[in-house]
Structure 1
Amino acid sequence: MRAISTSTSSPPTAAAGSAASWSSAFWIRCRPAASPGFTARSRPATTAAPNASSSAMVSGCSTVGKLPNSSDSTPLRSMSRQSSWISGTNHPATLIVSFHDLAPPSREAAERFLEGLDRLGLGPATFLLVPRWHGGPPFTEDAGFTRWLGDLVRSGHELCLHGWTHRGETNRGGLFTRLTARHYTAGEGEFFLLDESEATRRIQAGRALFAAAGLPCDGFTAPAWLNGPGARAALEASGLAYYTTWSTLRLCPGGPSLPAPVLTPSSRAAWRRTVSKIWLPFWFALHRRTPRLRFAFHPVDFSYPEMEAFLWRLLRRAAHNRTCRTYLQAALQARPA
C-alpha cells in the first residue's frame, strides 16, 4: 500500500473553453479556474474528529473547509497519486473517470478502483458519495472512512454528492414510470419522482454532512442519472457548480448542458455482463472523438474478475489522447472566459 505523495506536481491546468452565454455570477464565488487540480499534501499528524451532529445547511459554491485529519491506524491500501498521473500532455479532450455508490460498505471496492488507476497512471477521478447508504447511518459516523475521504480530496480527487440514500419510490406514476423506477433502476432511482421541495431537502441534508466532515461538495449526480422535474428545479437553485445526466454535464445555474456520453457496464446479472462486453466497445467507437467522455465504475463491477479486467482494458483505450479531469475541472474548463 502506497502512502500519498507529497509531490507538488499536479495535473495540468485546463484552458477555459468557450460555452454559450449564460449567467456567470456563480463562478465569481467558485474556485479559481487557474487551479482546477488539487495539490497533494502530507497527512496531518493530529486527529480532529468530524462533527457528525452538525445540521447547518450549506450555502454558496463549495463547502471547502478544513479536511478531516488522517491518522487512521489502518493505512490506505492504495491512493492514486498525482506524481504518477500521465495526463501531463494536457490534451483538450477530456476523460472523466468516476466511482459510484461510495459509502462505508463500498470502501474496499473503491480502494481496488484506486489501485487500478494507479497501475494505469490515470487521475484524478470523481467519487460519488452517498451520505446515508440505503437509509443507514450517516457516513460521518465512521471516523476512519471520513478521514479516508479527506485523504482522497488531498490527493487530488473530487467528491460528488450522489443522492441521499440511493433508494427510490417504485409505486408512483404511470406504467412506464413505475417500470423504470422498479426495473431499470432496481428501485434505486431516488431523485426520479421527488418534488422540488423534497429534492431540495435531501440535497441540503447531503451537503450539510459534507460540510460537517469538512469536505468540499460542488456537484451532484442522481442515482441512475435520473433527475425528475422536481430534482432539476432543485439543482438549478442549489448553488452547486454542476449536475450530471446519463448523457450530459449540466452547468449551474442555467448554464449549457455539455454532451458527455458515458461508458458504464451493468454487472448485476450474467446476461447484463455479456451484453456490456458487446455494447461498450461499440459505444466507445461511436463516441471516441467526443470532447468529453465519461467512464463510470460501480462497486459490483469488482465482484467479477473477468468484468473488472475487461473494464480496465477498455479504460486504457479510452484514455488515449485524453486528459483525465474531475467533473468540477471539466465544468470549470467549460465556463465562460
Structure 2
Amino acid sequence: MAERSVVLVLHDVAPHTWADYRPFVEAVDALGNVPITWLVVPDFHHHDDLAAQGDFRRLLDSRVAKGDELTLHGYYHCDDQPAPRTPTEWFMRRVYTHEGEFYSLSHADALDRIRAGIEVFHRNDWPLHGFVAPAWLMSAGTRQALRQLPLTYTSDPHHLYRLPDFTPVDAPGLVWSARSAWRRRVSKCISERREQRWQTTPVIRLGLHPVDMRHALSRRYWLDALQRLLDAGRTPLTKVAWLATQP
C-alpha cells in the first residue's frame, strides 16, 4: 500500500483563540512528532491585530521552529462588505456563514488584502506557502488575485489546489459543526463514517475550529481520531509537506 498521511489543521488561529487551542495542542505535542498547520488570521474581526500581540507572535515563532506550518487565513475573517443584494448572496453571507470575507471581494480588494497578509508574514519572518479563505469561499476576483501572487496552494473542504493554475489535488477533510449539541452528535456520526470510507485515501485532513475545543465530545473526538489515524500507519505532515509528496 502506498504511504498514507494525516494532516492536522487548526482554523481561525488568533491571539484570542489560543486559550481554546492550548490544551489540545499540548496533548498533540505529548503524542510525539506531529506537525500542525495553523491557519493564521492577521487581525481577527478587526480587533485582534497580531502586530499588538508580541507574546502570541513569539508562540508562532516557536511553532515554526518546531516544524509546524503557518498559513494565511484571510485577513479579518469577517464579512465587512455591503449588504447582500440577491437571495443567493443573502443565504451564503447570512445563513451559511457571516465570515465569508472573500466571498464578494473584487479582484483589487482581494489582491490588497492578501498582499497585506503576506506582508505580515514577511515582517515576522514566517515562511508562507498557502492561503485559505474563511469558510473556503472565494470570489472570482479572489481567484484572479491568487493567480498573481507568490503562493503555492489554496484549498477547499475536499481538495488542495496548486497555484497559480488551480490544479486540484484530492485531499478529503473532516470538519465539524459544533455550535449545538445536536450538531455535534451529527458531526460525530458523519465523521466516523467518513473515516471508515477513507481508510485507503492518500491523505485525511482534520480541520479543527476553536468552538470544537469548547466541548468535551468534539475535543475528545479530534484527539482520538488523530491517534487512530497514527495507529493505522498514517504519517503526520503539514499541508505543504504533503502536497510536495504528490506528483
Q: Given the two structures, how large is their TM-score scaled by the length of structure 1?
A: 0.69
Q: What SS does the aligned partner of 2:160 have?
A: strand
Match of 1:331 in 2: 243
Shift of 1:196: 1.4
Q: Percent identity, aligned pairs only?
A: 33
* Contact in 2 for aligned 1:225/1:246 (Cα 8 Å): yes
Q: What SS does the aligned partner of 2:182 have?
A: helix
Shift of 1:255: 5.1
Higher helix share: 2
Describe the shift of the 1:151–1:232 C-alpha distance in structure 2 as closer, same or farther (beyond 3 A): same
Structural mapping, 1:1-337, within 5 Å: 92-121=3-32, 123-168=34-79, 169=81, 171-185=83-97, 187-254=98-165, 256-319=167-230, 320-334=232-246
Shift of 1:281: 0.7
Once residues 116 and 264 of structure 1 are traced to their aligned partners in structure 2, the CA distance between those partners, rounded to angstroms, is: 19
Q: What SS does the aligned partner of 2:58 have?
A: helix
Unaligned runs of 5+ in 1: 1-90
* Contact in 2 for aligned 1:170/1:178 (Cα 8 Å): no
Shift of 1:228: 2.2
Once residues 234 and 189 of structure 1 are traced to their aligned partners in structure 2, the CA distance between those partners, rounded to angstroms, is: 16
Once residues 298 and 280 of structure 1 are traced to their aligned partners in structure 2, the CA distance between those partners, rounded to angstroms, is: 15
Root-mean-square deviation (CA, aligned residues, Å) is: 1.7
* Contact in 1 for aligned 2:40/2:71 (Cα 8 Å): yes
Once residues 123 and 222 of structure 1 are traced to their aligned partners in structure 2, the CA distance between those partners, rounded to angstroms, is: 24
Shift of 1:118: 2.2
Unaligned runs of 5+ in 2: none
> How many equivalent pairs are there?
244
* Contact in 2 for aligned 1:264/1:295 (Cα 8 Å): yes
* Contact in 1 for aligned 2:39/2:71 (Cα 8 Å): yes
Once residues 233 and 35 of structure 2 are traced to their aligned partners in structure 1, the CA distance between those partners, rounded to angstroms, is: 16
Q: What SS does the aligned partner of 1:296 have?
A: strand
Describe the shift of the 1:122–1:283 C-alpha distance in structure 2 as closer, same or farther (beyond 3 A): farther
Describe the shift of the 1:132–1:327 C-alpha distance in structure 2 as closer, same or farther (beyond 3 A): same
Q: What SS does the aligned partner of 1:220 have?
A: coil
Structure with larger Rg: 1
Shift of 1:301: 1.0
Describe the shift of the 1:194–1:285 C-alpha distance in structure 2 as closer, same or farther (beyond 3 A): same
Shift of 1:271: 1.9
